[in-house]
Amino acid sequence: MSPIMELERQLFGLGSFSRRMAHFFPEIMEHPGVLDAPAAPGWVRVNVRDAGANVVVVAEVPGLTEKDVTISFDKNVLTLSGERASTVPEGYTAVRRERPARTFRRAVRFGVPINVDAITAVVKNGLLTVTLPKAARAVPRSIPVQTVSN
Amino acid sequence: MNTAPSTRPERAVLAPRVDIYESETDVLVTADLPGVPEDGVRLHVERDELLLEATTHLGDSPSDTVAQEFANVDYRRVFLLPKGIDADGITARLEHGVLRLRLPKAASAVPRRIEVRGA
């Protein structure tokens, strides 16, 4: 494990967790599912959940709007990328800066077929939510069993 | 005292990342609060301290989680107000998960230029 990956793991204790979770959902996420680690600690972090008909990916993108993020889906890999500038407001001097300019790129691999044309994304409260509908044949369904009375 | 057990899972408490800028007339504080809705921020001034508290609402149900790098948290950070801040004039705006605080300096603390006129 690289020193940066190790630092990330120590800071957030998440790498092993997400890999462990991916192990239990091999049909959704090929190991390790989320293909990479954030380039900088906490920037940006992603969650993935399986909501039955959709897979939902949520990423923390404080300060970004729809036009600041680029979303692509190719060969079953969802890629989120973008950047946030950091400029000192005119007439001010910086006293403390913990939010430097940053770029990000995260990738999530899917093991289920996705209806690519129906992918939607919204940004709200600093969270980017990408909803990826599964292709119809991949949506789990229950088949009702009818009781036949003679 | 109410000692009923909470059903809410325990949340981590994190200090949000901030930028602080200063001009002759005010101080700006910018804090990253991803996942915090407008009603999730609380600001409290007591003496020379400004307390910022915020709560995320991710709305995830843990049962369907496939991979998780972040969870609901409580953000908390205390700032020591510099002398000469007009606490009543502090304004706050939450936009795209970023909180922007403006702390105006009291009129007496704003340096004034006194023009010297020729006779």
- E strands within B1-119? 12-14, 18-22, 26-32, 41-46, 49-55, 65-68, 73-80, 91-95, 98-104
- More confident position, A141 or A56: A56
Whole-prediction pTM: 0.76
How far is residue A34's CA from residue B56's CA, in Å, rounded to a whole number? 23
Q: Which of A33, A63, A91 comes nearest B96 by C-beta?
A: A63
Chain B contact residues (CB < 8 Å to A): 17-23, 27-28, 30, 32-37, 57-58, 60-61, 64-70, 96-98
> pLDDT tens digits, residue range A57-105?
999 999 999 999 999 999 889 999 999 988 899 999 999 999 989 899 9
How far is residue A131's CA from residue A73's CA, in Å, rounded to a whole number? 12
pLDDT(B119) > 80: no
ipTM of the complex: 0.81
- More confident position, A44 or A6: A44
> pLDDT tens digits, residue range B8-20?
567 899 999 999 9
Q: Which of B20, B23, B35 comes nearest A127 by C-beta?
A: B35
How far is residue A22's CA from residue A35's CA, in Å, rounded to a whole number? 11
How far is residue A115's CA from residue A6's CA, in Å, rounded to a whole number? 36
Residues of chain B by 3-state class (helix, strand, coil), percent to 5: 10, 45, 45
**Before A95, cis peptide (omega within 30)?**
no
Nearest chain A Cα to B16, which residue?
A98
The H or E element spanning position A48 is: strand A46-50
- More confident position, A63 or A31: A63
- The answer for residues whose C-beta is within 8 angstroms of residue B44's C-beta and 6 or more apart is B50, B51, B53
Note the pLDDT of residue B8: 57
Give the pairing of strands A77-84 and A69-74: antiparallel
- The whole-number average pLDDT for the span B37-43 is 94
- The whole-number average pLDDT for the span A121-134 is 95
Question: Within 10 Å of residue A53's Cβ, how many Cβ atoms?
Answer: 14
